[in-house]
Amino acid sequence: MTNIAFIGGGNMASCIIGGMLANGFTAQQIRVSDPGEQARDNIQATHGIVATGDNHSAVADADIVILAVKPQVMGPVVSDLASSLNSSCAVVSIAAGIQISDLQNWLGDSQAIVRAMPNTPAMVRQGATGLFANPLITSQHKESIQAIFNAVGIACWVDQESQIDAVTAVSGSGPAYFFLVMEVMQKVAEELGLSAQTAQQLTIQTALGAAQMASSGSLSTAELRQQVTSPGGTTHAAIESFKAGGIENTFREAMSAALNRAEEMSKEFSS
């Protein structure tokens, strides 16, 4: 039985734990440490897991340790924790901007480490997580870590640590792109005469339906778009307007800005 310890019991940790418990993990496998009494009480009330304020006791005999603390406090938290880690455990960081080299400075070069970039839809178990492992991660570690993040959506491994910044630009920040599109669609729908409630319902359901069709895997997104775009029809007129407005370049510039900021953050937090 794999024992998992969470250092930090905030919203993301709580939602991952909820997904794990719903997908075959047991409360006995999971330990949580957080300095905040309210966070500990929430974990205990929501998941039935005893939470502690002692990081060292939480990681005792843990096979996987998930670091779910803010990047700004990661250094002192991890440095203090290093002496208590099981030599064969894997450490998983979900903190943006913290590189594996930083974690190795605090934990030592012999530590198995994974960087994970989950996104907020994990809170409704529809998340997308990018994962990168250093060479010390075993196949058993990978299998267990994959199962943890699959419990709140899907998880994908990347081959280079720099690709985690690309993951950030695509799925880490991506939910906000879709929220913005839905926000604009609702606003324009109201301008076209629909009530706020009807505009919201139609927009959200359309986004949900489109995502489900795309995830079916039978057709590519380009093929799906072409399928619904009849020459000379209403959708064709809308798509041509999007293209004329430079939608592809707008997304390219926006996602590049997210990538650049992710790279800057890594430098800011680097020790």
| Structure confidence by residue, pLDDT tens digits, 84-101 | 999 899 999 999 889 999
Please determine, for residue 146, whether its predicted confidence score (pLDDT) is greater than 60: yes
Average pLDDT of the residues in 141-168: 96
**Structure confidence at residue 217 (pLDDT):** 78
Closest among 173, 177, 106, 111 to 138, alpha carbons compared: 111
106-110, 182-186, 216-220, 228-232: least confident range: 216-220
For residue 268, what are its two tokens? 């800011």
The model carries a pTM of 0.91
- Starting at the earlier edge strand, list the strands of the sheet with 112-117: 51-52, 30-33, 4-7, 64-67, 90-93, 112-117, 127-133, 153-157
Is the torsion defined by CA of 53, 55, 60, 64 positive or negative? positive
Q: What is the pLDDT of residues 208-260, one digit of tens each?
A: 999 999 998 789 999 999 999 999 999 999 999 999 999 999 999 999 999 99
pLDDT value at position 271? 52
How much of the chain exceeds pLDDT 70, in percent?
100
Beta strands in 94-141 (DSSP E): 112-117, 127-133
What was the pLDDT predicted at 158?
Answer: 97
Mean pLDDT, residues 75-86 taken together: 94
Of 171, 97, 103, 170, the C-alpha closest to 133 is 103
Task: Extract the runs of DSSP E, i.e. beta strands, from the chain.
Answer: 4-7, 30-33, 51-52, 64-67, 90-93, 112-117, 127-133, 153-157
Which CATH number is 4-167's, of 2.60.40.2140, 2.20.25.10, 3.30.70.2660, 3.40.50.720? 3.40.50.720
d(CA 61, CA 168): 32
Which DSSP symbol is given to 48?
A: -
Average pLDDT over residues 256-265: 93
Range in 1-5, 148-152, 193-197 the model is least confident about: 1-5
CATH number for the domain whose boundaries are 174-266? 1.10.3730.10
Structure tokens at 172: 């880490």
Q: Which distant-in-sequence residues (6+ apart) come within 8 Å of 54 by Cβ?
A: 33
The pLDDT mean for the chain works out to 95
Report domain extents, the chain: 4-167, 174-266
